[in-house]
Amino acid sequence: MEEKMTTQIYSEIGELEGVIIHSPGQEVENMTPENAERALYSDILNLGVAVKEYNQLKGILKLYAHTFEVKDLLETILVNEKVKEGLIGKICRNETSGCIRNALLSMDVKALSRSLIEGVALDNKTLTNFLSKDRFSLKPLHNFFFTRDAAFTVYDSVFVGSMASAVRFRESLIMEAIFDSHPSFDTKTVNPKRDKQDSTSIAIEGGDVLIARDDIIICGIGSRTTSQGVDYLLNHLKGRNKKQHILVQELPLSPESFIHLDMVFTLLDRGVCMIYEPVIMKMNKYQTVHIYIEGNTVKFIREVENLPEGLHKLGMDMDRVYCGGADDQWLQEREQWHSGANFFALGPGQIIGYARNVNTLAALNKNGFDIIKASDILKGRVNKPTQGKFVITLEGSELPRGGGGARCMTMPVSRKPVKW
């Protein structure tokens, strides 16, 4: 029997042991210009090109860690009739798909797993359905390859995302079912929707939650995560009976490239962070707040100058690398738009990002990071790097148009402790 993987994320940079991804499929192809905005996209993607680019990410991750695919995990748990009926029941209660419940229940495991992600086409055998403007009775999950948001690991627990948009709610239901039922994971799930308290104002997504250290969490609040969502996390952390700091960064509501904190701030190494300077250092009207919890008590909530200063006061001095480089705000804006601040760590100082953000990469190189193409590693032209500081670059002409980078597309389950 395969040994269970215990969920443990106590930093953003610890050596990666386990990660969940979802390779984009037909659900991405099932998008039109008409429904793109509803699906939270500003454009439609070319699936063939996106898959080639995504396969570079997947190939690199498999070289460094146990890599789980959502569709494989989902197929495994759907073999259990009780889990299958429970998940379908929740989906049908929360979407206008109750009429296809029996059809879903009758599907074999592979077809059902595929349908829950790719959608179910509307049966046009009634006049009402024939006249309907909807193409699907169960809509495709266009955003699911951004696995970061629907579930995220905080220390030893998995938080089920309370999604800001109803179009993504099924993603969180699927991820909750996986962590509650799959034999590969040893964890407990925390879900605002399960609690008795009013959860209508609670929104919290994984792109807004960064684990800086085992006593420091950084959260963004903006279009996807509310202050009530951070309060929910705060109340859960009180139960740890430990000293806990939460740094909260208020984000602009527009443009859409600022949807999550990890689009303007990510941690790269011990003492090194990537920042989008215009938001993190210069937008004084957007507050940065320090919350300190000791035991079950909030000792204080107060404003700090910015995230690097807040971390400095907690003993984490940060060298700042600038998204787009330090000199030209126009270049910074261009590269931030294409996820130039969104990096994912394989280990301390060992990161993945897009090759297209050349000024950001130049800034990293200037700060001691070697630049290595993913394609060179995967084709055997260079050995898999394991030592020193490096950034592995993914081809990214299509994937960035979906609105996310390497961190957005990964849901880490376990990392080794960091020797600070």
Structure tokens that stand for 285 in this block: 């009207």
The single-letter DSSP state of residue 348 is T
Classify burial at 373, counting beta carbons within 10 Å of its beta carbon; exposed 0-12, middle 13-18, buried 19 or more: middle
Separation CA 69–CA 58 (nearest Å): 10
Q: Max Cα separation, the chain? A: 66
Residue 69 belongs to a domain with what CATH number?
3.75.10.10
Q: Is residue 13 part of a domain?
A: yes
Q: Is residue 246 part of a domain?
A: yes
* 3-state SS assignment for residue 8: strand
> In angstroms, what CA-CA distances link 123 with 26, 27, 93, 390?
18, 18, 19, 51
What is the reported pLDDT for 33? 54
Identity of residue 382: V
Axis-axis angle for helices 169-181, 70-78 (nearest 10)? 60
Phi first, then psi, for residue 173 (nearest 5°) are -65, -45
What is the reported pLDDT for 28? 87
Note whether 405 and 353 are within 8 A (CB). yes
pLDDT tens for 241-256 read 789 999 999 999 887 8
Its pTM stands at 0.94
Note whether 84 and 365 are within 8 A (CB). no
Q: Is residue 328 part of a domain?
A: yes
Separation CA 30–CA 19 (nearest Å): 26
Separation CA 145–CA 257 (nearest Å): 17
pLDDT tens for 246-288 read 999 999 988 788 999 999 999 999 999 999 999 999 877 889 9
Phi first, then psi, for residue 304 (nearest 5°) are -125, 170
Q: Is residue 367 part of a domain?
A: yes
Axis-axis angle for helices 70-78, 81-94 (nearest 10)? 110
Distance of CA 320 to the CA centre of its chain: 22
> In angstroms, what CA-CA distances link 219 with 30, 180, 384?
33, 25, 33
Axis-axis angle for helices 329-337, 358-366 (nearest 10)? 110
Phi first, then psi, for residue 364 (nearest 5°) are -65, -45
What is the reported pLDDT for 198? 64
On the CB side of 243, CA atoms within 13 Å amount to 2
* 3-state SS assignment for residue 204: strand
Strand partners, 249: 220, 288
Q: Which residues contact 271 (CB under 8 A, 6 or more apart)?
A: 316, 317, 318, 319
What is the reported pLDDT for 31? 64
What is the reported pLDDT for 282? 81
Low-confidence ranges of the chain (pLDDT < 50): 36-41
* Domain with 347 in it: 5-415
Q: Is residue 383 part of a domain?
A: yes
Looking at the structure of the chain, the number of domains it has is 1
Of 189, 180, 178, 181, the closest CA to residue 73 belongs to 178
Sign of the dihedral defined by the CA atoms of residues 358, 409, 343, 417, in that order:
negative
Separation CA 175–CA 249 (nearest Å): 26
The single-letter DSSP state of residue 369 is P
Q: Is residue 420 part of a domain?
A: no
Identity of residue 349: G
Cis peptide before 255 (omega within 30 of 0): yes
Separation CA 361–CA 353 (nearest Å): 9
